[in-house]
Amino acid sequence: MREWDAFDQELAESMTEIPPAPEAVRAVTPWRMSIDRIVLGLCLTCFTLNFACLQYILPAIGTANLYLGFRALRKNNVWFQFGWICSICKVTLLYISLVLNATPYADIFPVSRTVLQAAATLLLFAALRQALRQAAAELGQTSQKDPVLWALLWYLLIIFLALSWPEPGWLVGGAVMVAFVCIIRSLAQAAAELDAWGYAVRAAPVKIGTARFQGLFYGSLLALILLCTLFFNHIRLTWTAVEQNFDSMEIASTEERHLGFPREMLAYLPPEELEKLAGASACVYQPNDINGKMGGHPFTTSGTMVYLGGGTARFYVLAEYDDEIDLFWQNLAEFGNSGVDRWDGACYLAYQKDGITYQTAVPVIERMETVDNFFTGPTEETRIRARYSFPVGAKSRTCLFVCTLQLWDLDQNTPGTSYYHDSIVNFYRDRFPIRYPYQIFEDGTSSSRDLAQYCQLFEFHTRLH
Amino acid sequence: MTDTDLLARLAADRADGMEALLRQYGPLLRYVIGGILRDSLDAEDCLSEVSLALWQKLDSYDAARGSLSTWLTAVARNTALNHWKARRRRDSHAAEAEPASSDTPEQAVLRRERAEQLKTAIARLSDRDRQLFYRKYYYLQSTAQIAAEMGMTERAAEGRLYRLRQRLRQELGGDDA
């Protein structure tokens, strides 16, 4: 009050006549704000709600509050300090984990992040218990009921239930809810005990205020997640500028052309594909009867199947995207259910920009999957997929998607009959790039994805051997 | 022990009840006194004064007017403030510089009006600003203590207090700094 002027003095003097209301007196403590943060933090981090992104939002709020709570009390005793260090580890782990979730590298941790987070929460429960006990003991106080120990035991029960029943039913879910309510009750009791002796607790000074810390923490986290989401939802490919030389290609593939291989598709075949067609004996070309739309814009497809002998064929589907279709985010080409063996997939992309043609080969993903077939039931089948993005400003974009099919088994072939092969190829486009956690484009189940299909029937005669 | 138990104990045996009261509310009294008197010896002296004051004034406590902790806070705060003023007078040998504050009836009325104005102004503050105000002008805590307990940096607390003070000055029509 030494530096106070008359106005300050007057305010202080006036307060003698108008003392604060009981609730205002109750709010002025050195511990309430910090302990409330710790209680809130422990409550929000000891359970998971897997909907509406709450599995990310609630732990983020809880962990930040744990850090802020322990930070303010860290100078009281060694256990509060230990809790503060644990909360730093927890907040760092959560931060890295939430950012990594927005990238394809979410699984690089050698130990499960859930296990680490649960271990950190257990340590925080233990640290809080010891810290409160030590602080109370210094004042000659003892806790009769030890509520934080009970909270810790209830948390252990939640962990046990979560490990024993990873997909809980109503009964286990109810037990978890009861345990959670008991944790809240125990922690509230622990906070209430401080009403008696908590005034001896001292709050530590801080270099970054609570509001600024929260702003920096949540702001940077959100910004990084958004940036990573956008960055990783565009697939970077190495494009090579090529000089289109249809004449040389025409010479090299005279044999294919004679079989009826369409000239427009031939232009996109790299030399290694042409080599695979050596010895081809038949070729069927099928433009898609119904040209689909993608994002309201025309989308054209055509397919060619080249018989290679031995019941196998090389199947080419060319997708030509309209220039108006936005293909900057993840796109997916996928061979649909076929009921035949497939292998040796390939995907070739091309686009034009400023009069130059760019091409690249996209790595394909081939994986055995169980496909639920309406007629035959679940069957194992090789799924072939390719994911790609085009750069900004790309025009005349095409995707040539290829695989080899085992059309029929020669041993079971009946001469004189025809063989029909029904082929479906799905082309997906991601409309909404912000998807959290990061998901590779593996199926078309998301509602924010556009689908255009190539669907045609190919006919071969079994006299082909 | 609840306040009711404590009061019953005080009614039954004053000395025993007083001991229990000081054991239960000692940390609160120390906290209030410590915010005003930074010197630990002064604070200990003051705690003794407060204990004496409580012993003398305990009969005047009316549970209907507020909780025991609110009353104890007021007693500790006012005793510590008086202690601080007395200490300041002694230190500066300026008993004559600070005239005895015996208000005329007009001054008393004016002061009451002003207090009412202040009460209205405080009621209009946000919860956080109200807590800041009470900490500064009722508990007379240092900016460092306020900042630490409210999770702010000292600089932020100073800035917020400055804005609060300006606002009150505007509303109450105080002198311009």
Contacts of B130 in chain A (CB under 8 A): 24
Percentage of residues in chain B with pLDDT exceeding 70? 92
- What is the structure's pLDDT at A463? 59
CB contact under 8 A, A5 and B177: yes
Q: What is the mean pLDDT of residues A266-290?
A: 83
Whether residue A87 contacts residue A71, with contact meaning beta carbons closer than 8 Å, is answered with yes
B 18-77 → A contacts, CB under 8 A: 24, 27-28, 30-31, 66-67, 69-70, 73-74, 77
CB contact under 8 A, B137 and A8: yes
- Which of these, A105, A94, A100, A66, lies nearest to A82 by C-alpha position? A66
Rounded CA separation B144/A457 (Å): 81
Rounded CA separation A276/A253 (Å): 11
- What is the structure's pLDDT at B168? 92
Contacts of A139 in chain B (CB under 8 A): 27
Contacts of B144 in chain A (CB under 8 A): 205
Paired strand residues for A367: A383
End-to-end CA separation in angstroms for chain A: 104
CB contact under 8 A, B177 and A203: no
Interface test with B, best of A17, A25, A31, A197 (most B CBs within 10 A): A25
- What is the structure's pLDDT at B55? 87
- What is the structure's pLDDT at A437? 87
CB contact under 8 A, B175 and A6: yes
Of the pLDDT bands very low, low, confident and very high (cuts 50, 70, 90), residue A251 is: very low
Distances (CA, A) of A428 to A230, A234, A390, A431, B44: 18, 14, 13, 9, 77
- Which of these, A221, A236, A260, lies nearest to A95 by C-alpha position? A221
The answer, yes or no, to whether residue A200 has pLDDT greater than 80, is yes
Whether residue A128 contacts residue A42, with contact meaning beta carbons closer than 8 Å, is answered with yes
Nearest to B118 among A18, A19, A33 (CB): A18
The answer, yes or no, to whether residue A396 has pLDDT greater than 90, is yes
Residue A419 contacts B, CB cutoff 8 Å: no
Q: What is the mean pLDDT of residues A445-460?
A: 78
Domain-by-domain residue ranges, chain A? 6-232, 240-461
For chain B, give the mean pLDDT.
86
User: Whole-prediction pTM value?
Assistant: 0.82
CB contact under 8 A, A16 and B78: yes
The answer, yes or no, to whether residue A421 has pLDDT greater than 90, is no
Residue A377 contacts B, CB cutoff 8 Å: no
What ipTM is given for this predicted complex?
0.86
The answer, yes or no, to whether residue A71 has pLDDT greater than 90, is yes
Paired strand residues for A332: A387, A428
- Which of these, B35, B110, B81, B143, lies nearest to B164 by C-alpha position? B143
Give how far A180 is from chain B: nearest CA, Å. Answer: 28
Distances (CA, A) of B152 to B124, B149, B157: 22, 8, 6
Q: Read off the tokens for A179.
A: 């345990």
- What is the structure's pLDDT at A464? 60
Instruction: Report the amino acid identity of residue A162.
Output: A
For chain B, residues classed under CATH 1.10.10.10 are: 105-172
Q: What is the mean pLDDT of residues B57-81?
A: 88
Residue B84 contacts A, CB cutoff 8 Å: yes
Nearest to B148 among A20, A197, A204 (CB): A204
The answer, yes or no, to whether residue A92 has pLDDT greater than 80, is yes
- What is the structure's pLDDT at A186? 94
Interface test with B, best of A23, A141, A199, A201 (most B CBs within 10 A): A199
Of the pLDDT bands very low, low, confident and very high (cuts 50, 70, 90), residue A181 is: very high
Of the pLDDT bands very low, low, confident and very high (cuts 50, 70, 90), residue A445 is: low
In the CATH scheme, what architecture does the domain B105-172 have? Orthogonal Bundle (1.10)
For chain A, give the mean pLDDT.
86
Tokens 């991601």 — which residue?
Answer: A430
CB contact under 8 A, B135 and A28: yes
Non-local (6+) Cβ contacts of A408 within 8 A are A311, A419, A462
- What is the structure's pLDDT at A415? 52
Residue A137 contacts B, CB cutoff 8 Å: no
- What is the structure's pLDDT at B177? 42
Over the stretch A330-386, which tens digit does the pLDDT of each residue have? 899 998 877 788 899 999 999 999 989 999 999 999 988 887 766 667 778 888 999
The answer, yes or no, to whether residue B32 has pLDDT greater than 80, is yes
The answer, yes or no, to whether residue A254 has pLDDT greater than 60, is no
CATH of domain B3-92: 1.10.1740.10
Q: What is the mean pLDDT of residues B123-128?
A: 93
The answer, yes or no, to whether residue A257 has pLDDT greater than 60, is no
The answer, yes or no, to whether residue A126 has pLDDT greater than 90, is yes
CB contact under 8 A, A205 and B177: no
Instruction: Report the amino acid identity of residue B97.
Output: A
Rounded CA separation B13/A456 (Å): 100
CB contact under 8 A, A196 and B27: yes
Over the stretch A4-63, which tens digit does the pLDDT of each residue have? 778 888 888 888 888 898 889 989 999 999 999 999 999 999 888 888 889 999 999 999
Instruction: Report the amino acid identity of residue A255.
Output: E
- What is the structure's pLDDT at A369? 83
For chain B, residues classed under CATH 1.10.1740.10 are: 3-92
Contacts of B154 in chain A (CB under 8 A): 205
Nearest to A205 among B81, B112, B144 (CB): B144
Q: What is the mean pLDDT of residues B113-118?
A: 86
Contacts of B138 in chain A (CB under 8 A): 12, 15, 19-20
